[in-house]
Amino acid sequence: MIHITLGARRYVNAQEDQLGRSIVGFDPVMNDDALFHANRGCWVLGERAEKERYVLLSHEGEVRMAIEIDSLVPVAGGRKAIEGRYLTSGHEVYDAYVGKPTPVETIRNPITYFDSPLGARACYCGCGESVTSGWFVIGHDQRALHARISKIGTVREFIDWFDSTYVDATGE
């Protein structure tokens, strides 16, 4: 799970902000929509972030919001913004963390990661096993890939099929 420590609300120039925001950070008068939109980006997120499903936003030692990640989208300067939805009462991640002390020690870097047993999802290969980080149980990404390759034929036939049907963003 990703944990982001927020500073106090501050104003930024919306013309210069990659997401067009005029406010970032935390203010106790912000509603959930405002808190989400002010703080969904622009973050320097490591490779591990791509495997995570949830983000917690904290301020002054308390978790203020939990977000389910749909995707992390690139913005200028190698930073990323979170696309997803904030969670509400009744969701296991919200109920376990929001309004409670941060689950990680606060350090200088505002972004930390931690392993949580909550928010497991089914392995994307379809085996039915649960994963809490990433999309696959270890090794099951290869299982899923080869199951699809076998529907085309051999690996060589799959490569031929892929190369004949795939068109990248440049049109090649």
Give residue-wise pLDDT tens across range 106-154.
778 899 988 887 766 778 888 888 777 677 878 888 888 888 889 988 9
What are 123's two structure tokens? 């392995």
CB 132 within 8 A of CB 116: yes
Give residue-wise pLDDT tens across range 29-87.
999 999 999 999 899 998 889 888 899 999 999 999 999 999 999 998 889 999 999 99
- Give helix then strand counts, H and E, for the chain: 4, 10
Phi-psi region of 93 (alpha: psi -120 to 50; beta: other; left: phi over 0): alpha
pTM exceeding the 0.75 threshold for the entire prediction: no
14 burial (CB, 10 Å; 0-12 / 13-18 / 19+) is exposed
pLDDT at position 1 over 70: yes
